């Protein structure tokens, strides 16, 4: 991730104040290029839930990246921004009828399901939709096991395809998501091999099975280095050779694309010594940009520009809650009120999961190095 200079940070702080979340759109383009190089012939659909900032959407749309949506609110946002609905998929396996109707009004026609009850919801819309059946593949190597909550058992897959056919519903293919922050690609490889076998078996009976969605889970580095994306994807590319040539392969990256693009910028608003340990109180914390420490099991790299002898210190957030601790036993020089603290790799599941607790001022998102133009007139649907 590109480092922000002290001069640029000072300029942004003087202009906008703090807290900030500074997004580098040039780094976003680099992440897209790296993943495309590691997974050629795989179409990328950005998981909007990771960070739904409008400028990020513009940048990704300009680069030809599609969008993975999981709610009516996300569909409404893309509609307002004139994103092509044919470049979207609705991946939440459980939906209300209103969710389905809203997505169809937007123009999204590809939906994910993982059970018979969900399949039945699409009977009234059978002429307008194509379905992907999500399969569960549990992974002990993922920080967040997404197959615990969603996905049918692989043994149910053939039955669900047959039931969809009986109900005259079009199944376009299969999907899976082995989990977030995977430490190795082994679960991806197993899932791809299993789905590829099923696709080959169904080819003659169900020729419309033409999509395989391999989800996300591509890792980024926080406190410890992660596997390089080229190395992580090499066995995945090999496994994908087992998929029939006519099948379109798509992926749903979220974290990998946006995590390395953003820095959280906060300032020390108070300080104290407690048990001989310096405590520094920031104007951002776990109810703000650092929310991923609670919701996402993440620990972000933190640094300061100030120099000097270091000692174990505590960084605390601005709320009245005792759990609002950003870091303990972190080695820091002595800080003064007003000094800047930088958190890195903070684009994914940070601003997206921040709250309004204590009604504190939320971090302002500032984008730099933009390539896509902002529209001069807002679109109103």
CATH number of the domain that 150 lies in?
3.20.20.10
What is the pLDDT averaged over residues 290-300? 93
- The domain boundary, picked from 259, 276, 306, lies at 259
Place of tokens 């470049």: 87
* Amino acid 3: pLDDT: 66
Q: What is the DSSP pairing of strand 277-282 with strand 171-175?
A: unpaired
What is the pLDDT averaged over residues 321-343? 97
Q: What is the number of structural domains in the chain?
A: 2
Q: Are residues 52 and 126 in the same domain?
A: yes
Q: Give the bridge partners for 165, in sequence order.
A: none
**pTM over cut 0.75:** yes
Angle CA 231–176–49, to nearest 5: 85
- Let me know if residue 9 belongs to a domain: no
Which residue, among 100, 28, 21, 99, has the nearest Cα to 57 in the 3D structure? 28
- Let me know if residue 12 belongs to a domain: no
- Let me know if residue 42 belongs to a domain: yes
* Amino acid 207: pLDDT: 67
What is the pLDDT averaged over residues 334-346? 97
- Let me know if residue 46 belongs to a domain: yes
* Amino acid 227: pLDDT: 86
> Are the C-beta atoms of 346 and 255 separated by less than 8 Å?
no
pLDDT at 374 over 80: no
Q: Are residues 219 and 268 in the same domain?
A: no
pLDDT at 287 over 80: yes
* Amino acid 380: pLDDT: 28
Q: Are residues 66 and 214 in the same domain?
A: yes
Q: Are residues 269 and 153 in the same domain?
A: no
Report the distance separating Cα 243 and Cα 240, nearest Å. 5
Q: Assign 21 a pLDDT band (cuts: 50, 70, 90).
A: very high
Q: Are residues 122 and 216 in the same domain?
A: yes
Q: Are residues 211 and 198 in the same domain?
A: yes
Q: Assign 379 a pLDDT band (cuts: 50, 70, 90).
A: very low
Q: Are residues 286 and 177 in the same domain?
A: no
pLDDT at 365 over 80: yes
What is the pLDDT averaged over residues 171-194? 90
> Are the C-beta atoms of 352 and 51 separated by less than 8 Å?
yes
- Let me know if residue 13 belongs to a domain: no
- The domain boundary, picked from 259, 277, 299, lies at 259
Q: Assign 8 a pLDDT band (cuts: 50, 70, 90).
A: very high
pLDDT at 63 over 80: yes
Q: Are residues 237 and 291 in the same domain?
A: no
Report the distance separating Cα 85 and Cα 66, nearest Å. 9
Which residue, among 193, 308, 280, has the nearest Cα to 240 in the 3D structure? 193
Average pLDDT across the chain, whole number: 92
- Let me know if residue 208 belongs to a domain: yes
- The domain boundary, picked from 240, 259, 278, lies at 259
Residue range 108-161, pLDDT digits in tens: 999 999 999 999 999 999 999 999 999 998 566 655 666 567 889 999 999 999
Q: Are residues 119 and 203 in the same domain?
A: yes
Q: Are residues 96 and 41 in the same domain?
A: yes
* Amino acid 376: pLDDT: 39
Report the distance separating Cα 179 and Cα 194, nearest Å. 17
> Are the C-beta atoms of 254 and 219 separated by less than 8 Å?
no
Domain that holds residue 150: 26-259
Q: Are residues 106 and 208 in the same domain?
A: yes
> Are the C-beta atoms of 340 and 266 separated by less than 8 Å?
yes
* Amino acid 181: pLDDT: 76
CATH number of the domain that 338 lies in?
2.40.37.10
- Let me know if residue 236 belongs to a domain: yes
Residue range 188-211, pLDDT digits in tens: 999 999 999 999 988 777 667 999
- Let me know if residue 378 belongs to a domain: no
């Amino acid at each position: 991730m590109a480092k922000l200079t002290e001069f640029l940070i000072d300029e942004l702080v003087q202009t906008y104040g703090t807290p900030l979340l500074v997004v580098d759109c040039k780094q976003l383009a680099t992440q897209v290029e790296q993943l495309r190089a590691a997974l050629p012939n795989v179409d990328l659909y950005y998981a909007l839930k990771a960070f739904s900032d409008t400028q990020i959407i513009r940048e990704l749309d300009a680069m030809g990246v599609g969008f993975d949506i999981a709610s009516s609110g996300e569909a409404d946002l893309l509609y307002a921004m004139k994103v092509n609905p044919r470049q979207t998929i609705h991946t939440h396996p459980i939906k209300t009828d209103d969710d389905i109707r809203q997505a169809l009004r937007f123009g999204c026609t590809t939906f994910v399901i993982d059970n018979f009850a969900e399949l039945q919801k699409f009977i009234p819309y059978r002429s307008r939709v194509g379905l992907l059946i999500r399969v569960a593949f549990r992974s002990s190597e993922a920080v967040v096991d997404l197959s615990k909550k969603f996905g049918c058992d692989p043994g149910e897959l053939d039955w669900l395809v047959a039931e969809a056919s009986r109900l005259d519903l079009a199944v376009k293919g299969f999907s899976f998501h082995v989990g977030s922050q995977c430490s190795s690609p082994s679960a991806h490889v197993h899932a791809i091999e299993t789905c590829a076998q099923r696709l080959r078996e169904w080819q003659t009976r169900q020729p419309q099975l033409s999509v395989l969605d391999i989800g996300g889970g591509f890792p980024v580095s926080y406190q410890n280095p992660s596997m390089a994306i080229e190395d992580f994807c090499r066995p995945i590319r090999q496994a994908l050779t087992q998929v029939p040539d006519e099948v379109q392969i798509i992926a749903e990256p979220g974290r990998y694309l946006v995590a390395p693009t953003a820095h959280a910028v906060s300032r020390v608003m108070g300080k104290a010594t407690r048990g001989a340990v310096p405590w520094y109180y920031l104007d951002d914390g776990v109810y703000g940009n650092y929310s991923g420490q609670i919701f996402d099991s993440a620990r972000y790299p933190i640094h300061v520009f100030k120099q000097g002898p270091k000692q174990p210190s505590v960084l605390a957030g601005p709320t009245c809650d005792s759990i609002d601790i950003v870091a303990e036993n972190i080695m820091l020089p002595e800080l003064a009120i007003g000094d800047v603290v930088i958190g890195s790799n903070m684009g994914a599941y940070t601003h997206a999961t921040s709250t309004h607790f204590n009604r504190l001022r939320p971090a302002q998102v500032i984008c730099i190095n933009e390539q896509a133009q902002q529209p001069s007139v807002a679109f109103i649907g």
